[in-house]
Amino acid sequence: MRPATLAEAVDRICAGEPQDIVLAEFVDTFLMAPDAAARYATIESEPRRVNDKKLDALVGAVGEYLAKHHHLPHVPPWAGAPWRRLDEPWFTSSSNLPGVLEYLSYASPAEFRSRNIFTEERPLRRARSHLPFAAKAPLPTGAE
C-alpha cells in the first residue's frame, strides 16, 4: 500500500523499507490526488527528523519541488528548515566521472541544488507525471 503522506513515507523508510521504492510510491500518491488541496495534504505534515542528513535534506527538496512544480498555493513551511540542507555536496549518481558530475551540477532543479543535492533534471518523474490530475486524465481504455 502506498504511503498517504511524505511523513508516512519517511516513517516507512526509517522502519527499514527501501527508500527508492517508498519515495516512488509516495510520488504516485501525490500525482494521483484529485486536486491541488489533496496534493498539498500529502506534503503538509512535517516528516520527522532522522539521523540521516541526506534523507532529511532530500525530504525537504521533495516537499518544495512537488509544491512548486505542481503549482500548489505554497511550499510547506517545514521544507525550509536549516537542517534540511547539506554542508557538503551530494551527487546522487553512482558515477564519479567529471562529465556526469558537471551535468548534475547544471541540471539539478533549484529545490535540490539549494540543499547541496545534485541530481537529474526531473528527479521525481513517474510514468503519469505529465498528466494534470488522475481524475482529469484517465488511462485510455485497455491501458494498464
pLDDT tens readout for residues 56-68: 999 999 999 999 9
Domain presence at residue 27: yes
Domain presence at residue 133: no
Buried-state track 64-79, b at ≥16 Cβ within 10 A, e below 16:
bbbbeebebeebbebb
Mean pLDDT for 124-140 is 55
Domain presence at residue 58: yes
Domain presence at residue 31: yes
With beta carbons less than 8 A apart as the criterion, state whether 47 and 7 touch.
yes
Residue 131 scores a pLDDT above 90:
no
Domain presence at residue 46: yes
Domain presence at residue 136: no
For residue 110, which of 68, 76, 81, 72 has the smallest C-alpha distance?
A: 68
DSSP string, 6-74: HHHHHHHHHTT--HHHHHHHHHHHHHHSSSHHHHHHHHHSPPPP-S-HHHHHHHHHHHHHHHHHTT-S-
91 DSSP β-pair partners: 118
117 DSSP β-pair partners: 90
Mean pLDDT of the chain: 88
Q: Look up cell 503549482; give the residue.
A: 71
Question: How many domains does the chain contain in total?
Answer: 1
Residue 51 scores a pLDDT above 70:
yes
Give the structural domain span for 16: 6-118
pTM assigned to the model = 0.84
For residue 111, which of 144, 139, 72 has the smallest C-alpha distance?
A: 72
Domain presence at residue 138: no
Domain presence at residue 66: yes
pLDDT single digits (tens) 66-116: 999 999 999 999 999 999 999 999 998 878 888 888 888 888 999 999 999
C-alpha of 69 from chain center: 11
